[in-house]
Amino acid sequence: MFKSISGRSLAFATVLLVLAITLAPPLQRFFAQRAQINAYRVQLASAQATLTAAQHELEQWNDPAYVEQQARTRLHYVFPGERQYVVLGAGSSASTTAQPAAPVSNQIPAGLPWYSEVIASITSTNVNQ
């Protein structure tokens, strides 16, 4: 069976195997480093976008008209001689209604210790007595 394989082809296969074993770890590190570089580039782009937004906001706060507008709306400031009227309840129909953060189970068994009731209310399963 092995007589059909020549010595040259066996030597060539051995060289290829040694070459593959030798080059595999550096290639793996190369591709891992390329992926890390790409992740850093994405992180840098995000930081640049944040910096640009902060610079734009700083430019807005350097404008006296913007500062005046923010003082009037956020802090309800008025100039001397002006009157400010605050209307309560107007436009509050679009406000969010209070809802529980998570549904609470209605099937809590009675007569259990408080910690079992807490666990039962969280897991929504029946706790055996």
Listed range (17-26, 28-37, 84-93) with the worst mean pLDDT: 84-93
Q: Where are the domains of the chain?
A: 2-86, 102-129
Contact assessment for residue 129 and residue 111, using Cβ atoms and an 8 Å cutoff: yes
Q: What is the pLDDT of residues 63-78, one digit of tens each?
A: 999 999 999 888 889 9
Q: Using CA atoms in the order 82, 85, 86, 88, what is the torsion angle rounded to 10 degrees?
A: 180
Q: What is the pLDDT of residues 24-80, one digit of tens each?
A: 999 999 999 999 999 999 999 999 999 999 999 999 999 999 999 999 888 889 999
Assess whether pLDDT exceeds 90 at residue 91: no
